[in-house]
Structure 1
Amino acid sequence: MRDGFVIVVPALRVEGMALFPFILVKHESLKYDEILLRHERIHLRQELELLVIPFYMMYLLHYLYNLLRYLDSGKAYLNIVFEKEAYAKEAETDYLQRRKFWAWLNFC
């Protein structure tokens, strides 16, 4: 899954999204954006660790909790524990090779 299954979806409302086992990107050029792809690959690993469906449930619940807490959708999104890990580590080229199981817990 080094390159993953990257699919261009022009109707996507965001630049990229991990939807196990795919990475969806808004534009063809984003298929070559290593930082974006690494960010999404971190999410794929998180999804796999949590057996996919529980990941999506936890992601949504954490977003809703943050929305109530911050009353701001942008802050709610950025403070989802899974996003915190992905943003913090997306620039580290070897991160997925050395990442520990359930590393997202370090970002709670």
Structure 2
Amino acid sequence: MIVVVNRYLLPRGTYGMTLWPFILVRDSRLRKDPVLINHERIHLRQQLQLLIIPFYLWYGIEFGLRWLKYGNRKKAYSNLSMEREAYANETDLDYLQTFRLWSFIRYL
């Protein structure tokens, strides 16, 4: 896990983002935020299990479909299966110890 601090690489209002193999954070203080880092580490594991490029394809297609469904980008983002899994488990700092293959499917 490589954490990069750079506020210019992130969209406005975004505190963290995972782009394999990097976790990007807006502020150096966020490097020590265990919940944010765990959320992004869950995305790293999702990306790895889907062999990285298919992760981005799935994420993009699902985002597009949800945007069409809800007509709202924020609502589409918050209903993505991969985001729902990460948000649901971000406070469980041991979640990655029990992480199962394709577990995000439960959040579709």
Q: TM-score, normalised by structure 2?
A: 0.95
Shift of 1:63: 0.5
Rounded Cα–Cα distance in structure 1 between residues aligned with 2:45 and 2:93: 15
Q: Percent identity?
A: 45
Aligned to 1:43: 43
1:9: how far off? 1.1
Q: Does 1:79 align with 2:76?
A: no
Residue 3 of structure 2 aligns with which residue? 6
Q: Are residue 68 (structure 1) and residue 68 (structure 2) matched?
A: yes
Q: Which runs of 4+ in 1 moved over 4 A?
A: none
- After superposition, the CA RMSD in angstroms is 0.6
SS in 2 for 1:24: strand
Q: Paired residue for 2:32?
A: 32
CA apart distance, 1:54: 0.5
What is the rounded CA distance, in whole Å, between the counterparts of 2:7 and 2:32 in structure 1? Answer: 16
Structure 2 residue runs without a partner (length 5+)? none
- Paired positions, count: 105
TM-score with structure 1 setting the length: 0.95
